Structure 1
Amino acid sequence: MPACPGPAAVVFDPSLTEYDFGPAHPMSPVRVDLTMRLAEALGVVGGQLVRVPAPIATDDEIARVHDAVLIEAVKKAEYNEPRGLGTDDNPVFPGMHRAAAHIVGASLEAFRRVWSGESLHGVNIAGGLHHAMRGRASGFCIYNDVAIGIQHLLDQGAERVAYVDVDVHHGDGVERIFWNEPRVLTISLHETGQMLFPGTGFPKDLGGPDALGSAVNVALPPGTGDGGWLRAFHAVVPPLLREFRPDVLVTQHGCDSHVEDPLAHLSLSVDGQRAAYLALHDLAHEVSAGRWVATGGGGYALVDVVPRAWTHLLAIAGGNPLDPLTDTPDEWREHVRTALGRVAPYRMTDGRTPAFRDWSEGYDPETWLDRAIHATRMEAFPLHGLDPLP
């Protein structure tokens, strides 16, 4: 890989919004369109964050991870419940295979650019479809673009890849695909599966027999806000990444952890999410020489949350974080009004100043949050040679 990687890249073209389950489905592609419009209106795209075209993945590239029977079922776009198709979560639509393959191709381009050194950071906000399994679509996810990208890195010679998933839902598909692969560390912070789809991702879920400790899960209580979430993140993620020292850091940035998201029960603000993005960016520079691939993910507050959160992500990837007090541009708010009949947020902040109590300051067994963090550290840390106690 070149010693001096190029600028960051966002892989995007407007046809990525063809990944569309229909007007009644919560995962509307308008969230991706509004994000790019906001990022471009704010000048985030351009300069150190270049926009590059999104190719469409080939069947062979998709088959790096997925079974041929799933690919064929998606191509037929017919009801096939054993493959997760035609359900309420994953209704079939014309051109489904091409649209899903386009998401995969966009993520693969981000992975390729980072591994080759063309870009230091690569982003695909339309990606992050982390629930898809090898042989089955799941949870709005047809193909698992993140897992395909990670497999590409392994095929190209990466010795260690770390994946951190901050979506409100457990990153079960990526975890399961690499369950017994010691070269891949998956860390997921999510609302506990006791309360939320997919019902998995508990501290004792640690990976397969040849890769114990390769899966790490923090199952957070409902209602967790900025301070608690950041306390959990900093108690678990940095020590593990510093010990694992991946060649590339891969992150999934579902912003459905926001308090206004209609499908879950955490209580983060855009400001808290921005703090997580900054921390992951800094960790990439600390542990993987800056090699960072970031994707989108969930997020169903389509106007009020997703565009602002992911524009912050893009700005951070481009090396020029936005001041949270920045106003959203008049032309963007006018587009939201005319196209959607909605009133868009006026600022890039929710007015919060995220702060948290560091784990080293003590553990309170009376709180659900601290018990959750403690459980994860007790299960996972010894497998990495780390002391689980504060």
Structure 2
Amino acid sequence: MTKVKYVYSEDLLKYRFSDSHPFNQMRLKLTTDLLIDLGVLTSEHIIAPRVATDEELELVHEVNYIEAIKKAGKGELPIDEYDKYGLNSEDTPQFVNMHENSARVVGGTLTAVDAVMNGEATKACHLGGGLHHGFKGKASGFCIYNDSAVAIQYMQSKYKQRVLYIDTDAHHGDGVQWSFYTNEDVMNYSIHETGRYLFPGTGALTERGDGKGFGTTVNVPLDAYTEDDSYIDVFKDTIEAVCESYKPDVILSVNGVDIHYLDPLTHLSCTLDTLYKIPYIVKNLADKYCDGKVIMIGGGGYNIWRVVPRAWSHVWFALNDLQTPNTPIPQTWIEKYQEHAPFPLATSWIDEKEGYMEIPRKKEISEKNNNTKMRILDWFKM
């Protein structure tokens, strides 16, 4: 039996706001086909996502919100209620069958969770997931339902797990944070671009949880234009300290790849070098601290041609102890998608660094990030 599972079906591509919306799940198909053409992903690995039940969605989301999403997807929600549920913005506009297609994203993450928890797999990934901005009763930031938060509560309720949530998306995982801000049994770690410049504007170092949950929220806000060396230095040291202190039963990680310098929505300056390293760091932590139990899901990433497929492939590589291929990008994949791409597709795994600019404030930015790191490390020495 193949012990690492990959949740996928083309039905996941139906989570789509419009042809012009920056959230484009075509990136999921591009990644999956690249892995198949490489010969490292086969039908034995793939399991289809199920649609989450209302009861499962209600682990996090309010009943009236779920009903509103159902109505909106059928064109039955009164226009004057759109604002109440976050459906009046360009980020999260109504689309046909919104409930079913959003619930399938959640169900995909729960499918990955069940595979690991039931022993069908040691590790699993669902790159179609990672919708971390959704709130209990309101859509936000391209996210209708919050599959990350539902999965965490599901692991707590059904499997009695101590969950470490690791979020390396460029945007702060606000929907997850506020869902568990007072929960002492969930460790919520998010490393992201500072909210001073980027949506959603939260995730400050001082946001550490409340009540019994104080200390179980760790935010690592990085300065704009943070580059590879500073990012990896801060991430490795802080997440190791969190794992050592918390000792989780299982890790759920969001692998947003919008920290790349070519991402059109963010202001960080990392390259593929960093995006290739992150999933290996997380996978090794899972092996060290929780018997290998890890579920890796997707997240942001809006340069769907040059960045996402190569970066997300390394999530699968890491879970399977594979290294970056020493062969070119498969010609079959390039031929399949070149006619659809707005520019020549990459032919190698090496980041071309086209248009990359050296950061004039690199030393200052690195020192600022290091000060953030040292403050966090001091918390765990107390």
What residue identity is the alignment partner of 2:42?
G
What residue identity is the alignment partner of 1:274?
Y
| Percent of residue pairs identical | 34
How is 1:1-390 mapped onto 2 (pairs within 5 angstroms)? 7-46=3-42, 50-77=45-72, 78=77, 79=79, 80-323=82-325, 325-350=326-351, 367-375=364-372, 377-378=374-375, 381-382=378-379, 384=380, 386=381
Q: Give the alignment's TM-score, normalised by structure 2.
A: 0.92
Tell me which residue corresponds to 1:363.
none
Task: Tell me, in whole angstroms, the C-alpha distance in 1 between the residues paired with 2:271 and 2:297.
Answer: 19
Task: Tell me, in whole angstroms, the C-alpha distance in 2 between the residues paired with 1:139 and 1:380.
Answer: 30
CA contact (8 A) 2:226 2:365 kept: no
List runs of 5+ in structure 1 lacking aligned partners.
Answer: 353-365
List runs of 5+ in structure 2 lacking aligned partners.
Answer: 354-362
Task: Tell me, in whole angstroms, the C-alpha distance in 2 between the residues paired with 1:297 and 1:331.
Answer: 27
More moved, 153-162 vs 141-150 = 153-162
Task: Tell me, in whole angstroms, the C-alpha distance in 2 between the residues paired with 1:271 and 1:141.
Answer: 28
CA contact (8 A) 2:170 2:257 kept: yes
Q: Residues 373 and 180 (structure 1 numbering): CA distance in 2 closer, same or farther, change over 3 Å?
A: farther
Cα deviations by residue, 1:348-373 (Å, 9 ceiling, x for unpaired): 22168xxxxxxxxxxxxx83443344
Task: Tell me, in whole angstroms, the C-alpha distance in 1 between the residues paired with 2:324 and 2:264.
Answer: 26
In the TM superposition, residue 284 of structure 1 has moved relative to its aligned partner by 0.7
Task: Tell me, in whole angstroms, the C-alpha distance in 2 between the residues paired with 1:120 and 1:282.
Answer: 13
What residue identity is the alignment partner of 1:81?
D
What root-mean-square deviation, in Å, do the aligned CA atoms of Structure 1 and Structure 2 show? 1.8
Task: Tell me, in whole angstroms, the C-alpha distance in 2 between the residues paired with 1:223 and 1:372.
Answer: 11
Cα deviations by residue, 1:321-376 (Å, 9 ceiling, x for unpaired): 333x4311111111111234542111122168xxxxxxxxxxxxx83443344335
In the TM superposition, residue 276 of structure 1 has moved relative to its aligned partner by 1.1
Secondary structure of the residue that 2:253 maps to in structure 1?
strand
Secondary structure of the residue that 2:211 maps to in structure 1?
coil
Secondary structure of the residue that 2:338 maps to in structure 1?
helix
Q: Give the alignment's TM-score, normalised by structure 1.
A: 0.90
Task: Tell me, in whole angstroms, the C-alpha distance in 2 between the residues paired with 1:103 and 1:132.
Answer: 12
In the TM superposition, residue 46 of structure 1 has moved relative to its aligned partner by 2.9
What residue identity is the alignment partner of 1:76?
K
In the TM superposition, residue 6 of structure 1 has moved relative to its aligned partner by 6.0
More moved, 253-262 vs 314-323 = 314-323
CA contact (8 A) 1:312 1:322 kept: yes
